[in-house]
Amino acid sequence: MRSAAVLRGAFRTAALCVLLAAPAVAVEPDEVLKDPALEARAREIGKELRCLVCQNQSIDDSNAPLARDLRLLVRDRLTEGDSDAEVIGFVVARYGDFVLLEPPFKATTLLLWLGPALVLVGGAAGIAVWYRRRAGGTGEPPPLTEDERRRLADAIAREAEDGGGRA
């Protein structure tokens, strides 16, 4: 009996986790187009466009007022007869390539694409330099100076005169 209760509790917890992990869709009912084909196109376009306020969400996932404005703009352009590419081109012309969740690889977006790799390489180089400095270079001690050699010879001679200091 007790194992069945534990199993039910585990199932409820798993179901809750699955429900919480489902993507949030911020499209309001008053934004939805009556034509299901146009609405499907609007949703696909919305998945490609970044919310400029949240920056890590698509406009379909964001509750920001600007995201709502962009969703309405996309739907207006679609109802006017624009193709998907024309709608995306219109939004990019207004807001730049940053509005795309996957910006194109070109000169103006080079830092967006290569920035993470440059940071990684720079960090690895910094760690390597730090490690080399910490290790002291070659690992060989520097040669003794004449004064150090003389003092070492004197210390060895005194030790020999004392008989090693051990009984």
DSSP per residue over 46-72, as a string? HHHBBPTTTSSSBTTT--SHHHHHHHH
Q: What is the pLDDT of residue 22?
A: 45
Q: What is the pLDDT of residue 139?
A: 61
Q: What is the pLDDT of residue 91?
A: 93
Same domain, 81 and 121: no
Same domain, 14 and 78: yes
Q: What is the pLDDT of residue 70?
A: 92
Quote the domain boundaries for residue 131: 110-165
Q: What is the pLDDT of residue 113?
A: 84
Same domain, 60 and 137: no
Residues of the chain short of pLDDT 50, as ranges, are 21-24, 167
Q: What is the pLDDT of residue 148?
A: 94
Into how many domains does the chain fold? 2
Q: What is the pLDDT of residue 20?
A: 52
Same domain, 15 and 89: yes
- Whole-Å CA distances, 47 to 106, 109, 156: 22, 20, 80
